[in-house]
Structures are given as structure tokens and as C-alpha cells.
Structure 1
Amino acid sequence: MAWLWMSVGTAAAALLAVSYYFSERVLRIRTNKGEAVLASELGQGRLTREAVEALPKEELAIASPFGYSLYAWFLPSAAGETARTVVFVHGVTSSLHGMLKYAEPFRRRGFNALLYDHRRHGRSGGDFTSYGYYEKRDLAAVVDYAFERGGPSAVVGVFGESMGAATALQYAAEDDRPAFVVADCPYSDFREQLAHRLKVEYGLPPFPLLPLTSLWCKLRAGFRIGDASPMRGIAAVRAPILFVHGEADDYVPPAMSAALHARAAAPKALYLAPGAAHAQSWAQDRDAYERELDAFLRANGLLD
């Protein structure tokens, strides 16, 4: 009987160790420096160095409610002075540089662009990545800045990609001020996303690893995996939402955007980009992407 208890104890210890390792990978996921993200964007032809160097950027440090600074760029509209601003929220492992390609179409359409690095990303502070749970409060601070800078006539929209899109939706469920949200390839629920990746990458079921990993996240960082859930609050979002997702996305399934779109109560549109992989809808067909964007903005009175 003693050997049985020893075996059980060994298995339990191993499971705890493995789940702690996964919590470390979740909370401290590898991130890329802004220079590396920019180099990738340049290498893939999404930006040119001349255009980036010519940007009239203003570098900012916006205070997070958690006590660190959020590194940001403010880019004025190319069409002249305006109180209309779009806040851009990048994906996990990336930086504000990854959102520059999306900022330019808005600047041409008469919006300022405000881009920033997530907590623990780029040049911003912070200890853990929480997949929108804490990031939504950082986003709120950035949106506050945009409204303060724009004054009484300020109009502020939010554009997010991947984790940034999930963050934007979680934030918008708690704040009615944004004029619109563009959510490009969001996950609908972080637990479901991790379960999907466990199956794809390791061939593992979610139980018992995910509950134990979630417990470690709670003990170490104060949130459970299931707390990061755009689906939970999507019906409360009042801002018009444009959902974008690549039909060939095998990282975050496009069914997640379809499910969010189906449950959303706000004015909404869904663009499934043919043949596009994860976060590649704009790169796959820029003209089609901008047509969908124009139609959405016009439908909601934000573009002449």
C-alpha cells in the first residue's frame, strides 16, 4: 500500500510542477522588443522605414492605475487638427509598432492615432500578462487620456488585434464612451483559447491541467484564466463593433468572432477575410479590409 501512496504523491507533485510551468508560460509569455516588431513589419512589407521615420509622433508616458507607465505614441491626423482619436491595442508578444499599419488608414480618414505598449510589453511596466483582465484597466487609462486631450468634442474609438481585440471588448463592456470598437481576431474566452492550444500543440485535454494552471495564476497574479472572457460581457457593449477574422486562422478559430458577433447586442458587422491566417486579414487584402472599414464607419455616422 505504501508504494501506491508514493506513486499518487509523485504523480500529484509532477502535475503541480507541470501546471506551475504552464502558469509561468501564461503569465510571463515571451515578448518582443519594439525594434524587433518594427523589423518584422518592415521585412514583411507592411511598413517602410522612410514612412515610419517621417511620422510626426509624440512620445508619451501614460500612468497605469497599477503604478507603472504605459509607453505610447500620439500621431496627429493627416487631414488636419481634430478631436477624433483611435486608440490602438496590440496583440500578445507584440508592441505598438505592430499597430502602425492600422493607424495610417485612420489618419488618412481624419482621426488621430494613439498607440501604446501593453503591460509587460515593449517599453511599458508591469509584471504579468493577464490577457485583458488587467489590460482593460490600462486601456481605460489610455482612453481617458484621449478624451482629456480631445476636450468636450472628443470622439474616441478603439481598435484591437488578437489579445488587443479581446482587451478592447472587455473594456468596452464596462465603458459606454467609445464611439466604436474594431476587434480583429479576438478570442471569445481565454480558457477556451488555452484549451484549443493545448489540444493543437500538445494533444492534451483541458482537465486537469487548466484548472491547476488557473489556480496558480490566481495565487501568483490575482486572476483566474476564466476571468479573461470577452464573451461574458459582450452583450453589455454599447459601442458599434466591427469584428474581423481570417477564415484560415488556425490559432484563434474564426468561430470565436462569429460567436461574439452573434451574442453582441450593439450595432455590429462581421468580416471574415478569405484565406487569411491569424492577424493577417489586412495583409491578405488591404483594399477589401479598408472597404469593410469604410462601410462600418459610414453606417455609424463616423465617416462622410
Structure 2
Amino acid sequence: MSYLLLILCILVIIGMYVLTNYYFNQVVTRKVDTEDEMMRVQVERNLINNNVYSLLEKEHIVLKSKDGLKLRGEFIDNDSNKTMIFCHGITVGLIWSIKYIDMFYKRDWNILIYDHRRHGQSEGSYSTYGYFEKEDLDLWVNWVIKRKGKDSIIGLHGESMGAATVLQYIDINKYVKFIIADCPFSDLMELLGRKVKDDYKGLLYPILYLSNVKSKVRANFDYRWIKPIECVKNSTLPIMFVHGDKDKFVPWDMSVAMYEAKKKGLKKIYIAKGAAHAKSIEVNKKEYEKEVIDFVEEVLKSYKK
């Protein structure tokens, strides 16, 4: 009997180990899409015109992160003092940000898109959901300031993980004038806990916590540290939240919670009807553009006085 119990314990340990590695990989090292696939999908969905984008004059930039990773970006200089920086979501890359740039480029904004660490042509092994990514973003903001001057008007647009990153950037921000957060999560551990509850009836809660231990050891970040809502609460920075009401990947009530938590400064929320995760612009591009530009113009009023 004791022998069978020993075998059972060994099998349980092996099972827990396998599941922990699987869950860690799903969260921290998820497979990244290729650039060709990202471009194909956006063109097929009529979100971008690759012929137009390919003709834009782009400056290719490589920066080095604080921990020594090469980060790749592209800058489109529109001879302006206004610059939009775009932060993509998990598993994609700067190509995925192209669908957002036209509404700003045609209004004379400079454009900066870049690959997060571990994505596209940037180096790195782990995604940390804004923990290290916000420090990388700060390098790009400072690059713009050096290029365009300290009187630059810089805005951030983030999608999904990118949205969580730009919101966490609030804590170290010096130059950014406003943020547009498209389908952000408010608390990473809460989001993962909800998914475990909904998808696995709560059975994988131990795996979630073991995965977090592995994340602290391997990737040097704790899921519990990622709380964009705490960055928003006392911020006076103008913030626009965008979310689709059919989003099952990041529930839209997380944007509502952050909108309600923000007590100071300009804020706006736009809930896109019928939009799944990161598809608010796809469901109604004209309405998306109007809502976003209305917000941006309201922000800019304070710089025209």
C-alpha cells in the first residue's frame, strides 16, 4: 500500500510540474506570431493598406534596454512637435500597431511603433506584462524627446498588454501628455484567477500560484505586481479607456473599474458595441477614430491656450 502511495505521489508531483510549465509558457512565453502573418491578417480584414504603409518613409531604430536587450522600432517623421507612440499586445509586434497610425499621421503626428521585448525583432525571453516593458517604453519616450525636444507633445496608445504597459508607465512618466488604453486589464493576478475559475472551474488555482513562483525565479517578476488600476487611481494624466463589450479575453468591466477609480484629471471611456478583444477599431473604424480624436483634441486644447 505504501509503495502504491509513493507511486501516486510521484505521479502527482510530475503532473503538477508539467502543468506548471505549461501554464508558465502560456502566460510568460506564449508563441509570437510572424510578421508576415500579422500583415496578412490586417490586410485581409481591411484594417490597413500595405501599399500605402510601404511607401511611408520610416527610420529604423535600435535601442538597448537597461538589461542589455536590443529593441527594434520604426519612426515616421511628419515634421511635427506631436508624436504618438504605439504599444502592441502579447504575441504580436509593431506590425500589429499599423492599423492605428493613419488617424494620427493624416493629422500631422509623428509615429513611433516598436517591438516589445521578446516580440518581432526585439530580443528577450519573457513577457512581463508591463513590469519591464514600461522601462523599455521610457527609452522610446526619451528618444523622442531627444529627437524632437522637451516641448514635444507625446501621446501613448496601447492595446491589451500594451495598454497595461502604458498605464503602468504613469508611475515613471515625465513627458507624456495623455494615454489611450485599448482593452487593458486592471490587475493581472485577478485576470488570471478569473480565467482559471471560468475555464478550469478553479481546479488550476495551485498551478497558477506555482507558475507565479516560477515567474519570479525565471523572469524576475511577480504576477501580483502588475496592477494598472493602482497607477490610474491618483493620476491627473488624461486617460481614455477603450473596450469591446464582447471581449472574453480581458473582460470589459476591467476598463470600467479603472475609469471609475480615476478621480483626478480628464478621463473618457468608449465601449465598442459588438467588439471582441482588441477589435474595437475593426468593428467600427469610423466611430473608433471619432471617439479617439475627440478625446485627443480635448487634450490638445490645454496646449493651445
What TM-score comes out, normalization by structure 1 length? 0.93
Mapped contact 1:169–1:237 kept (Cα < 8 A):
no
SS in 2 for 1:65: coil
What SS class does the counterpart of residue 85 from structure 1 fall into? Answer: strand
Structure 2 SS opposite 1:300: helix
The equivalent of 2:258 in structure 1 is 260
Partner residue of 1:133 out of 131, 134, 141: 131
Corresponding residue for residue 47 of structure 2: 46
Task: Determine if contact 2:82/2:153 at 8 Å carries over to the other structure.
Answer: yes
State whether structure 2 residue 68 is matched by structure 1 residue 70.
Answer: no
Whether the 8 Å contact between 1:33 and 1:121 is mirrored in structure 2 is: no
1:31 aligns with 2:29: no
Deviation per CA, 1:210-256: give whole Å up to 9, x if none: 11110011111111111222123222433200000011111110001
Moved more, 96-105 or 286-295: 286-295
Q: What are structure 1's unaligned runs of at least 5 residues? A: none
Q: How many residues align?
A: 301
The structural deviation recorded for 1:20 is 2.3
- The yes-or-no answer on 1:286 pairing with 2:288 is no
User: Do 2:63 and 2:72's aligned partners in 1 also have CA atoms closer than 8 Å?
Assistant: yes
The equivalent of 1:301 in structure 2 is 300
1:112 aligns with 2:110: yes
Contact 1:215–1:224, Cα closer than 8 Å, also in 2: yes
User: Which residue in the other structure is 1:20 paired with?
Assistant: 21
Residues 174, 237 of structure 1: 8 Å contact kept: no
1:269-295 per-position Cα deviation (integer Å, ceiling 9, x unaligned): 000011111111111111211221122
**Residue 86 of structure 1 aligns with which residue?**
84
CA 211–182 in structure 1, closer or farther in 2 if over 3 Å, else same: same
1:88 is paired with a residue of what secondary structure? Answer: strand
Counterpart selection for 1:158 from 129, 149, 156: 156
Given that 2:153 and 2:176 are in contact with CA atoms closer than 8 Å, whether structure 1 keeps it comes out as yes
SS at match of 1:173: helix
Provide the C-alpha distance between the structure 1 equivalents of 2:121 and 2:213, rounded to a whole number of angstroms.
29
Q: Distance in 2 between matches of 1:92 and 1:271?
A: 22
SS in 2 for 1:171: helix
Stretch deviating more after TM superposition (115-124 or 197-206): 197-206
Counting aligned pairs with the same residue, the percent is 33
Residue 206 of structure 1, CA deviation: 5.2
Contact 1:32 1:94 in 2 (8 A): yes
| TM-score relative to the length of structure 2 | 0.93
Question: Which residue in the other structure is 2:95 paired with?
Answer: 97
In the alignment, the residues of structure 1 paired with residue 202 and residue 76 of structure 2 have an alpha-carbon distance, to the nearest angstrom, of 45
| Runs of at least 5 residues in structure 2 that lack an aligned partner in the other structure | none
Q: d(CA) in 1 for partners of 2:14 and 2:88?
A: 37
